Amino acid sequence: MARGILRTAVSRACLVLVLSIAAHAYGDPGKDLFDKQCSGCHTVGGGDSGGPDLKGVTDRRSEEWLESIIIHPDTMAATDPARKELIKKYGYEMPTLGISHDDAIKIITWLKGGGGGAAQAGAPPADEHPEVVVTPALVAKGKALFTGQKPLANGGAPCIACHRISTPGITGGNLAVSNLSASYQKMGEKGMRGALKALKFPTMKKIYENRPLTDDEVTSLIALYKDAALTKSTPSASFFPAYGAGTFVVFLVGLTLYKRRTR
Amino acid sequence: MTDYLFFAVFPYVALAVAVGGGVYRYSRERFSFSSLSSQFLDNRVLFWGSVAWHYGIVLILLAHLVALLFPGFWGRLLGDPLRLAAIEATGLALGLFTLAGLVVLLLRRIASPKAWAVATVMDLLLLAALLLQVATGLYNALVYRWGSLWYLSLAVPWLHSLACLNPDIKYIVPLPLMIKVHLVNAFLLLLLFPVTRLVHIVSIPISYLWRPWQVAVWNKRPIGS
- State the ipTM, two decimals: 0.84
pLDDT at A25 (0 to 100): 46
Q: How far is CA B152 from CA A4, A62, A155, A207, B76, in A?
A: 67, 43, 12, 10, 11
pLDDT at A125 (0 to 100): 47
Select from A149, A156, A255 the Cβ nearest to the Cβ of B79: A149
Select from A203, A244, A250 the Cβ nearest to the Cβ of B174: A203
- The binding site of B for heme b consists of 54, 64, 182, 200
The string of DSSP letters for A109-142 reads: HHHHTTSTT-SSBSSPPTTTSPPPPP-HHHHHHH
One-letter amino acid at A170 equals: I
CB A134 within 8 A of CB A226: yes
A236 reaches B (C-beta below 8 A): no
Enumerate residue ranges in chain A where pLDDT < 50. 15-25, 117-127
pLDDT at A262 (0 to 100): 63
Q: How far apart are CA B96 and CA B92, in angstroms?
A: 6
Does domain B2-209 bear CATH number 3.90.700.10?
no
Q: How far is CA B76 from CA A154, A155, A156, B152, in A?
A: 15, 12, 13, 11
Q: Which residues of B touch A205 (CB under 8 A)?
A: 170, 174
Q: Which residues of B touch A160 (CB under 8 A)?
A: 81, 84, 146, 149
Enumerate residue ranges in chain B where pLDDT < 50. none
Three-state SS at A14: helix
The number of beta carbons lying within 10 Å of the beta carbon of residue B134 is 24
Q: How far is CA B10 from CA B17, B97, B152, B153, B161, in A?
A: 10, 30, 21, 21, 14
Q: How far apart are CA B33 and CA B25, in angstroms?
A: 8
- The binding site of B consists of 54, 64, 182, 200
B26 reaches A (C-beta below 8 A): no
Percent of chain B at pLDDT > 90 equals: 72
Q: How far apart are CA B209 and CA B211, in angstroms?
A: 6
One-letter amino acid at A171 equals: T
Q: Which residues of A touch B52 (CB under 8 A)?
A: 251, 255
pLDDT at A24 (0 to 100): 47
Query: Taking CB atoms and an 8 Å limit, are A148 and B79 in contact across chains?
Result: yes
The number of beta carbons lying within 10 Å of the beta carbon of residue B77 is 15
The string of DSSP letters for B35-57 reads: ----TTT--TTHHHHHHHHHHHH
pLDDT at B43 (0 to 100): 72
Identify the closest residue of chain B to A262 by CA–CA distance: B47
Query: Taking CB atoms and an 8 Å limit, are A206 and B168 in contact across chains?
Result: yes
Query: Taking CB atoms and an 8 Å limit, are A247 and B85 in contact across chains?
Result: no
Q: How far is CA B29 from CA B18, B25, B38, B199, B207, in A?
A: 15, 5, 19, 12, 22
Per residue in A202-218, pLDDT tens? Answer: 889 899 989 999 999 99
pLDDT at A51 (0 to 100): 79
The number of beta carbons lying within 10 Å of the beta carbon of residue A239 is 12
What is the count of residue pairs from A and B with beta carbons less than 8 Å apart? 119
Phi, psi of A218 (to 5 degrees): -60, -45
Q: How far apart are CA B161 and CA B172, in angstroms?
A: 12
pLDDT at B205 (0 to 100): 75
Cβ-proximal residues to B72 (8 Å cutoff; 6+ apart), any chain:
none
Phi, psi of B217 (to 5 degrees): -120, 125
The number of beta carbons lying within 10 Å of the beta carbon of residue B176 is 13
The number of beta carbons lying within 10 Å of the beta carbon of residue B50 is 18
**Pick from A180, A49, A156, A251: nearest CA to B152:** A156
pTM of the model: 0.79
Cβ-proximal residues to A105 (8 Å cutoff; 6+ apart), any chain:
A67
Tell me the residues of chain B between 69 and 98 that have a Cβ less than 8 Å away from chain A.
75-76, 78-81, 84-86, 88-97
Task: For chain B, give every domain's residue range.
Answer: 2-209
Q: Partners of A44 in the beta sheet?
A: A121
Q: Which residues of A touch B149 (CB under 8 A)?
A: 148, 157-158, 160-162, 173
Distance of CA B65 to the CA centre of its chain: 12
CB A263 within 8 A of CB B222: no
Q: Is A15 exposed, middle or buried (0-12, 13-18, 19+ CB in 10 A)?
A: exposed
Q: How far apart are CA A228 and CA A188, in angstroms?
A: 13
pLDDT at A127 (0 to 100): 46
Per residue in B137-178, pLDDT tens? Answer: 999 999 999 999 999 999 999 999 999 999 999 999 999 999
Select from A149, A157, A174 the Cβ nearest to the Cβ of B144: A174
Domains in chain A: ranges and CATH: 2-115 (1.10.760.10), 136-241 (1.10.760.10)
